[in-house]
Structure formats: C-alpha cells, structure tokens
C-alpha cells in the first residue's frame, strides 16, 4: 500500500482540526524544533494542534497512513530531548487541550486534559483545600501530559511520590487510532496495570488525551527550616540521620556552595554565601504537633555541627527560601554562559560518597559543577557550568556527565530520577538494563506500536531512526547553538 502523499495528508488534517491548527511553514515549525534539552534540535515536517481525543486519534490514523513518525509535545520544557522529532514527521502539540474537566473534592480527584499546566491544577483545586502533589521545577510552565510522559517528580516527591503515584486513569489514543481507557477512577484497577506502563513511556506507546489524577488535602501546617553547613558531607549525613530516625519531611533539598553564591547574587534568598551547603527541610502536619517534631529535627541536625538553623518565621520568608531553590538553576547563568543539568539517582545511604565522586569528576575534567537536588530521595542534579564557545568544552562536559551517571549506577542508582531518558540517555539505558531486559521492553513497545511510529529514537537504545524522506525534516544534530546560552 502506498503511503499517503504530503499534500493529501495536510488537507485531510486541515479538515480534522481546522486549517489554522495545522502548521507547515518553516517559520512556524522552527518553534517546535527544540525543547529544554538545549544541545539538540530537529524540525518536524508539520505540526498539528488538536482540540479533542477524536482529533488526536484521527491525526494519528492519518499520520500512519502517510507512514510518518508521530511525536507528542506538551510545553516543551523536557530536559532530555524527548519531544525533539529526530526523524521528522508529524508533531502533535497538545497545548490546546488544556481544560480542567472535573474537580471532585468528594473523591479527591481531578479529570484534566493533557495540556493543563501543572500549577493551574493546584490553583483550581486550592479553593477546596486540595492540591496536586507532583511539583517539578518547571511546574509554572510544564503540562501534566508532559509530566506523565516523563513520570516527573519534584521537591515534594519525598513524601508524596512521583507522577505515577498520582495517576488513576487515562484515556489514550493508540497507534491504531483506537481510543482506550487504562486504569480506573478507583485505585488499583484489575487486569494489567497499563496506566502504570504508560506513565513514563515518553510518548512511545500512545498519545494521552485525558488524565484522572489524585488530589491531596493540604496539610494543616507547614514549617520550613534552613540548615547551614560547612561541608556537603555534614549536610548529607544529616539527611541520612533524619530518615533513619523515622522522620519523613515532605521535602529535603540540598544546595551546595557554588549554587548558593549564584542564588545570592541573583535572588538574595538569604543563604549565607560562604556556606559549604544548605539543607531546606520542610515538614508538614498538625499545627500543634509540628513544633515538637521540629525540635527533634533540630536535635538531629545539631549532631552534625550546623553553622546555623533558621526556621522561616512567616510565609514570605518560606517563599523566599523556596525561591532560591526553585530558581537556583536559572541563577547559575550568573556563573557561566551555559550549563548542563544532570539527573542521577543513588540510594540515600550512598549520598556522601557519590557527592565526593562528583566533586572528584569535576576536578579531573577541570569543570565547575553546582549541586542542588532532592537529597531526601537521593535524586542528584549535578549541573555542569561551561562556556560552549570554548573549543572542545562541550565534549568534556558530556564526558564528565557520563562519568557522573556511571558513578550513580555503580552505587546502585539510576540514570534518571524524574527528567526521563529521551534522546539524551537512551544509550545509557544499557548501563542499567541487560539486552534481555531491553528486548522485553521492545516487545511491549511492538505490542502497542507495531510500525514504530510513536516518538522513534527515544527512551530505548538503538540506532538513530532515519529521517522521513519528505525533505522537510532537518537532520537531527547534537550541537550547541550560538545564542541559546546567553
């Protein structure tokens, strides 16, 4: 059967979604050639902005008829290149599907479309005293569809878990063009856990068109403590001791000296500039109980000779402390024209040694690495600062990054905690998984997407997919672009 030609495809797509929601001109497409993985780009052949699940399914069916790859995209804040159409093809941008369809305070759940921005859901739930727990750093911009695709986390995952723990049910357009429901509104649906399978599948198994998520009740009270240490080691040991004592803070974030100085220059969050590391420890619970729990947190932290322990006195102070953490990566722009943000995981108990290894790798490659991360769940974000204009620099940065992730895996950890694999880390999957493991994943992939059209070249290792022969697809490239760094 001959594939549908481009002209027919475009006119059919226009019939489905309306002419203004099919983009084909290079100046329109260029917007979609990149995400927050700043070192690679590739242009789609055409972009479709559907409005309903039926439109998504029709677009998928048409793309299949034209034998075009299909790449879903949310807000484009992904850090692993997962939404870069490396083989060209049809991009489905889901930002128009941004309706909150239902908020049920009674059942503590919300039904939303994939293009809903993370923070908008929490805002809509707030009047009911509820919130949506996963809070990635990008939450002001990123979509929940993208969060689901990457199984996104955030600082408060320590207590509440990652996106997968909050998804109950999803409606999915399969590569066959069928629309199915996976999971159920009631927890732990019978049959195979296909909702769990779809979460974190990075757009390679289906296009998610509707999501039912849990909403949690806001805690009665929250206390935030800034603990200042002379060394990362002392801060790391405090983290281990708190967890060992059975205290589970809702967040436990570490910021090292390098990042502290950048943050203070940019934001003035109130971190002491000469500290080796600070910990942000947040505890939630009952108002009358929290002071007593905070006393215990103090006592444990004091064993590691903190230079200062300061509780936020009021909401404004708490917000400022968090602002430093949440905008920390951006603040690093003060120190270098570019950075490469990593995302490794280690067992919490191995934190001190892996942090020493990261420092050693930085020294060996003569690089500056800033660390700000989710210490409570051992999710590191070593951020390598560099100047891409210097010849040979990017290669060194990439090599150092690989060594860091290898050190995480060697310590019994993983290559990503919340940013996903995308194109960035697909080859590193072999460090974690045997050929047989990956083969099992490929078998499942084939069960959902026999033609391999859904987001090719992502997540699972393999040769780079061939660009579709349409001519409009730019070849995939990994190259720093002048301009994007400053």
> What values do phi and psi take at 474, rounded to 5?
-70, 145
One-character DSSP codes across 58-124: HHHHHHHHTT--EEEESSS--SSSTTS-TT--EEEE-TT---EEEEETTTTEEEE-TT-BHHHHHHH
* Residue 21 DSSP code: G
Angle, helices 351-364 vs 393-410, to 10°: value is 160
User: How far does Cα 142 stand from its chain's mean position?
Assistant: 9
* Residue 24 neighbours by CB under 8 Å, 6+ apart: 10, 45, 46, 47
Angle, helices 6-17 vs 53-65, to 10°: value is 170
Is the Cβ of residue 65 or residue 219 nearer to another protein in the bound state? 219
In angstroms, what is the minimal distance from the CB of 126 to another protein? 15
Is the Cβ of residue 330 or residue 465 nearer to another protein in the bound state? 465
Is the Cβ of residue 199 or residue 394 nearer to another protein in the bound state? 199
In angstroms, what is the minimal distance from the CB of 395 to another protein? 24
**Beta partners for residue 285, in sequence order:** 221
One-character DSSP codes across 169-218: EEEEE-TTS-EEEEE-SSSS-SS--HHHHHTTSTTSS-EEEEEEEE-EEP
In angstroms, what is the minimal distance from the CB of 166 to another protein? 12
> How many Å apart are CA 408 and CA 378, to the nearest integer?
10
In angstroms, what is the minimal distance from the CB of 336 to another protein? 28
Q: Which residues of 165-196 are buried (b: 16+ CB within 10 A; e: fewer)?
A: ebbbbbbbbbbbbebeebbeeeeebeeeebbb
In angstroms, what is the minimal distance from the CB of 288 to another protein? 7
In angstroms, what is the minimal distance from the CB of 273 to another protein? 34
> How many Å apart are CA 234 and CA 229, to the nearest integer?
6
In angstroms, what is the minimal distance from the CB of 377 to another protein? 8
Is the Cβ of residue 83 or residue 258 nearer to another protein in the bound state? 83
In angstroms, what is the minimal distance from the CB of 213 to another protein? 15
Is the Cβ of residue 36 or residue 66 nearer to another protein in the bound state? 36
Is the Cβ of residue 103 or residue 467 nearer to another protein in the bound state? 103
Is the Cβ of residue 101 or residue 186 nearer to another protein in the bound state? 186
In angstroms, what is the minimal distance from the CB of 449 to another protein? 10
Is the Cβ of residue 270 or residue 285 nearer to another protein in the bound state? 285
Is the Cβ of residue 24 or residue 176 nearer to another protein in the bound state? 176
Residue 266 DSSP SS3: helix
* Edge-first strand listing for the sheet containing 109-112: 100-104, 109-112, 207-214, 167-173, 179-183
């Amino acid at each position: 059967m001959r594939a549908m030609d481009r002209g027919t495809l475009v006119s059919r797509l226009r019939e489905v979604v309306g002419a203004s929601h099919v983009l084909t001109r290079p100046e329109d497409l260029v917007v979609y050639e990149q995400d927050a993985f700043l070192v690679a780009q590739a242009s789609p052949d055409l972009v479709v902005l559907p409005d309903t699940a039926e439109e998504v399914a029709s677009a998928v069916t048409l793309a299949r008829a034209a034998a075009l790859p299909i790449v879903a995209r949310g807000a484009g804040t992904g850090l692993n290149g997962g939404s870069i159409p490396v083989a060209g093809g049809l991009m489905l941008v889901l930002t128009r599907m941004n309706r909150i369809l239902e908020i049920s305070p009674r059942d503590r759940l919300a039904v939303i479309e994939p293009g809903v921005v993370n923070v908008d859901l929490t805002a809509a739930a707030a009047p009911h005293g509820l919130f949506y727990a996963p809070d990635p750093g990008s939450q002001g911009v990123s979509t929940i569809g993208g969060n689901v695709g990457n199984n996104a986390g955030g600082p408060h995952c320590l207590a509440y878990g990652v996106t997968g723990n909050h998804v109950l049910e999803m409606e999915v357009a399969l590569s066959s063009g069928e629309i199915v429901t996976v999971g159920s509104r009631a927890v732990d649906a019978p049959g195979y856990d296909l909702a769990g399978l779809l979460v974190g599948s990075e757009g390679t198994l289906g296009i998610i068109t509707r999501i039912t998520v849990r909403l949690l009740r806001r805690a009665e009270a929250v206390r935030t403590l800034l603990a200042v240490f002379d060394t990362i080691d002392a801060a790391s040991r405090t983290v281990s001791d708190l967890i060992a004592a059975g205290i589970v803070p809702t967040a436990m974030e570490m910021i090292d000296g390098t990042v502290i100085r950048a943050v203070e220059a940019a934001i003035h969050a109130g971190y002491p500039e000469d500290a080796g590391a600070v910990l942000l420890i947040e505890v939630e619970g009952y108002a009358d109980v929290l002071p007593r729990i905070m006393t215990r947190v103090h006592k444990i932290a004091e064993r590691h000779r903190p230079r200062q322990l300061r509780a936020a006195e009021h909401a404004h102070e708490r917000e400022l402390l968090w602002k430093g953490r949440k905008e920390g990566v951006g603040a690093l722009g003060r120190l270098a024209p570019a950075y490469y943000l990593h995302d490794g995981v280690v067992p919490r108990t191995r934190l001190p040694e892996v942090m020493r290894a990261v420092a050693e790798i930085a020294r060996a490659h003569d690089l500056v690495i800033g660390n700000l991360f989710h210490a409570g769940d051992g999710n590191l974000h070593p951020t390598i600062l560099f100047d891409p204009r210097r010849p040979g620099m990017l290669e060194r940065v990439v090599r150092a990054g690989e060594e860091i992730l290898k050190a995480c895996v060697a310590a019994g950890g993983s290559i990503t905690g919340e940013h996903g694999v995308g194109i960035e880390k697909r080859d590193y999957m072999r460090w974690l998984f045997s050929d047989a493991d990956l083969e099992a994943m490929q078998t499942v992939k084939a069960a959902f997407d026999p033609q391999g059209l859904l987001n090719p070249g992502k997540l699972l290792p393999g040769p780079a997919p061939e660009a579709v022969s349409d001519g409009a697809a730019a070849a995939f490239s990994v190259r720093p672009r002048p301009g994007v760094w400053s």
